[in-house]
Each structure stands twice: as C-alpha cells, then as structure tokens.
Amino acid sequence: MQDKIIQTVGLAKRFGEFEAVGGIDLEVFRGEIFTLLGPNGAGKTTTLRMLMGVLQPTGGTARIDGLDCFREREKVMTRVGYLPEEPIFYDYLRGREIINFVGEMHGLSEADIAAASEPLMERLKLDDALDEYAVNYSRGMKKKLALVCALMHDPALLMLDEPTAGMDPYATREVHELMQQRTERGHTVLFSTHLLDQAEKLCDRAGILFKGKLAAVGQLDELRQNLSEDSSLEEIYFSLTQDGVEDNIPENLSK
C-alpha cells in the first residue's frame, strides 16, 4: 500500500453563494506525478491554494504528510515547493536578491543557496538576467525564477499551477525533465494544467475536476475503462466535462 503524501477529505471552499470546490477526496501517493485537469473555473487553483494554506477551507480537511495544511502551514512548508500561476515579485529586487531572500527564509546558508540555485538557473537559462529587477521579467522568466525558488530547499512535494503556460519550448522541456527527475529521487509532483497532451505524457495518475467536484481520478488505464481501450486523455476529458454530466458520475470513477 503506497504512502499518501496528500490527503483531502471532503475539502470544500465556498465564496459567498458560489461553491468553488464542493467536497473532494483527493489522494496523492509519494513518488508519483499527479496531474489535476479541468476546464476554466473548475476549482484547480482554489484546491492548490487550500493545500498551500493560503485559503481556509470552508469544509473538510487537507493534509500533507499528515499535517493540516491551514493550521500547521509553517511545518508543511518545509516539505513543499510552490509555483503559482502568475508569480509576482517585489518590484525593486533583482532576481538574484530574490533567490537569496527565499533561500534565507528557508534556513539555507549562502553556500547552500549557491549550490542549489546555480545549476537550476543554468538549466533554465536564467543566469543572464539575474541582475535585472524582477518586475521587468517576462511572464516566462518570472515562472522560471519562481521555480528556482520553489526547488531550492529540495522539497518532498512540488506543487505547480499551470507550470508551462507562458514558457518557451526549451524551458517546457526542462521543466518536464525536472519533474521526472524529482520522482526518480522519490519526491512527488502535483501540477494542474489545461494541456492534455503534456499531461498524458508525464503523469502517473490524473484527476479531472469539473465544477468543483472530482469527475474522475486514477491512472490513465482506469480512466479509459468507461470509454474504449485506446481513448486519448482528450476524449476522456471531453466526455467527463460536458454540462449536465456531473449528475451522472459513475461511482467507481470518482473516489
């Protein structure tokens, strides 16, 4: 029985009258790449924010490594690295200074920071622009910077919100390789995306979120059971996320 690193039970978030996330039971096992799919407004970012302790769930619990994400956020953050969809940094700090700041806040020494960040920056081709104020970076560069910040303390779990949106193909390939290397070392990766072909290539398990509920979760083979042997993830996705389908989610698919 695999070890769970993320476990949510009935996790829900309500904004006023609107139910963004309506009670999901999500499990992510250690050492796997899990992808969260769903149309716009399905609740992916809200779920990730609840896992990061930024939002307080209005129902249910979210736990990472057995620790409550909201109440014990400080302890959780030692094990988690996060890449938001639109990272925004302090206006007048240079890229290098931001990396040093983040490293210091995670308790790394100067040597550790250099050792952890330099190879990453070279890989992502960021080292050229480090003396530039972060506010002048393009969107892709900001994401690369945020990725370096997220990986510096070698977290057991890496959570990425639409990681490759806005990145050029080289960077995209690097990010994918990074994700796979992390799991080879026993770490876990959770990412949300729209890009079904990327997800299909990379993930071990997938969860399809639709209107705040988990329409389906499991390995690709399990997800295919309802359609045909060789359906692509795209076909599965479309069949599960049409309007009106959420009332007829088969029991064995959504757990």
Partner 1 sequence: MTSRPPTGIRAMVILIRMSLRRRSNRLRKGFSFAFGKKRKGTSPAKRTATPRKSGRRSLISVLALGFLFVASGTMIWSMLLTNLCRHISAQAETSVAQNEAGEPTADASGAKSKEVIPPWEIYRLWPSDSREDRLIGILGFVLFLLVFSTLCVDLGIRNVDLGKAEWDMEWLSSLPVSTHLLFAAKLAEYAVTSPFLWMFILPFLIAMFVAAGFAFWSILLAFSTAIVIALILAALRLLIETWVKKKVSKPLTKTIQAGITVIGISLFWGTWLANSQPRILAFLVRASDYMPAPALWAPWVAPVMLCRAGAWVWAPTAAIILGGAAIFIAAIAGSSRLVRDGLIVAGGAYVGTRSRSAKSPRPRWIKQRFKGLIGKDLTLLFRDRNILVQITVLPALLFAYQLLARPMLFESTRVDFRSASALAFGMGAFVLMTGVTATATPEFKSMWLLFTFPMKLRRAMEARVRLWGVIAGGICFIVLAIVFIKAPTIGADAFLRAGLALAGIFIYSRVAVALCVMYADPFESDPQQRIRPEMVMLFMLLAGMYAVVIYAPTVYASISALFLSILLAYSIWQAALDRMRLILDPVVQPRHKIGLIDGLVAAYIFFFIQGLAGIAFHAANTVPSAKSLIMIYSFAAFFATLLTAYFFFRVKVPNLLETIGLRSSGENRVRWPKALAKGLFWGLLAAVFAVFYLNLIELSPMLQELKKQSLQLFSNETERQIGWLALLMLVAAPLFEEYIFRGLVFRGMRRTSRPVVAIVGSAVVFAMAHPAISALPVFGLGIAAAIAFERSGLLIAPIAAHVTYNAAVLAAQMAGKA
- Three-class SS of 106-119: CCCCHHHHHHHHHH
Listed in sequence order, the residues at least 6 apart from 127 whose beta carbon sits closer than 8 Å to its beta carbon are 118, 121
For residue 52, state whether it binds partner 1 (rule: CB under 8 A): yes
Q: How far is the C-alpha of 9 from the C-alpha of 255, rounded, in Å? A: 11
C-beta of 95: minimal distance to partner 1 in Å? 9
Tell me which stretch binds partner 1 (CB under 8 A): 24-32, 86-94, 178-186, 199-207. 86-94
Q: Is position 191 an interface residue for partner 1 (rule: CB under 8 A)? A: no
147 close to 117: Cβ distance less than 8 angstroms: no
Q: Is the separation of the CB atoms in 157 and 6 below 8 Å?
A: yes
Q: How far is the CB of 198 from partner 1 (least distance, A)?
A: 24
227 binds partner 1 (CB under 8 A): no
Residue 78 binds to partner 1 (criterion: CB under 8 A)? yes
Cα 127 to Cα 135, 158, 222: the distances in Å are 16, 22, 43
Looking at beta carbons only, is 161 or 174 nearer to partner 1?
161
Interface contacts to partner 1, rule CB under 8 A: 14-19, 49, 52-56, 58, 70, 73-75, 77-78, 80-82, 84, 87-94, 96-97, 100-102, 104-107, 127-133, 135-136, 149-150, 211, 246-247
